[in-house]
Structure 1
Amino acid sequence: MHAAVGARLRAIEPGRAEATMPAADPDGLDAALWVLADFVSGLAVTGTLGSGERITTLRLTLHVIARDGVTGTLHGTGWLDEKSEVGLSTAVITDDDGRTVARAVGRNAILADEVAASTWPGHAPAWSDPPRRAADLLADGAAPDPASVNHAGVVQGGMLASLPARALADLLGGPADEATATFLRAVPAGPSDGRTLHTAPELEHGGRRLRSGRVVLRHGDDRTVLTVTGLRYAP
């Protein structure tokens, strides 16, 4: 997935990671922010793991600070805050001018299982030139694009969250200023099992200035895999 959307790791050390990604166009910006936030906040934890361990995202909260005039390249930096059975990490995303575009907080479970013990079951894909928009890899009512896969063979968490986040934006009359994704199940990439992704939005508060809502993402008829809650404030 990172090869498809042009997300590139630039630096990594235990507890810290830096990566870049194209900002895309305004309609695709929030999807890029979810992907990059999950990428660097997760890598900040991954860089401290032992052999045979891996992480899976439990929750990711994205706070968007600025959207206007964001073009060029997004720069993400993630660092580890705390680590036990779970890893807590923070990510900051800036634009080419050094302006803070978004901040994120991630909570990742640390696992030791057969997936962690295995190696990548094939060849990494070639870099897409030009990169594809993250927002184009998942669509409501469609099976996940095979290019959305991560190392564990499932849809990358930030990519998965970006789909209900777009449905939330439609519900709130614009992108959420703050949104939290809670991950319940993994979603395999590709149409091989015939199941498609579906969003179910629910408006919780529809005030003149403050609007809040919740979107449930299902894979197939009734398999809930993710929820996103968020708010939008228009002063």
Structure 2
Amino acid sequence: MNQYAQQLSVSQSEPSERAAFIRRTYAHLAGALLLFAGLLAYLIPSPFGEQFTGWVLGSKFGWLGVLGGFTVLGWLARGLATSPASQSMQYLGLTLYAIMEAVIFVPIMYIAAYYSDPSVIPTAGVITLALFGGLTAVVFTTRKDFSFLRGALMVGGFAALGLIIAGTLFGFSMGIWFSAGMIGLAGAAILYDTSKIMLHYRTDQHVGAALELFASVAMLFYYVLRLLMDRR
């Protein structure tokens, strides 16, 4: 039996091990968010920002291509981040995922920065952090297991993907209510991910846990930003 199989779940571990796992997870989440923000700060004003945004908006299937690539590479990154082979592979997965998220955010951030009110970006960031902090506090204070949300998150995720694909193919806008629904879905994902961090992950899975939480926070930020832009 290898060292990974011998690892206990967070809920079965000693309090000191549980606290160390939680600290590592959120430290890696912070690192992924800093990498994400730094890449966007570099990419948006660069020639790539304008060219990539123009390509996505100018091609009917450009956004579908981006989503398809993100899905495939996201699956690969998740596999790497949870790999028992080596910790370096886990870090590679988290880094790859943060880079991909930054790239997929370029069009909406470019539009917000140059064609909308630039203040929506920090406003969306503050709202996202406030929501994330509140949802995290709910889990940490109640210690409730939100694993029952898994089925609803899967159904909601597939339904949202179907609507995005249909909207891209047939040229209709999902509007404010779709963004509001996706904010709710992202909030549910944060509750689910945080309760897994509190109860279900093994104590050696902090990199994979950080990736899942990062993905949910990024989705929340995306749709908060989109909602603010749609309202202006």
Q: Give me the TM-score of the superposition, normalised by structure 2.
A: 0.25
Structure with greater proportional helix content:
2
Bigger Rg over Cα: 2
Structure with greater proportional strand content:
1
Higher RCO (C-alpha under 8 Å, 6+ residues apart)? 2
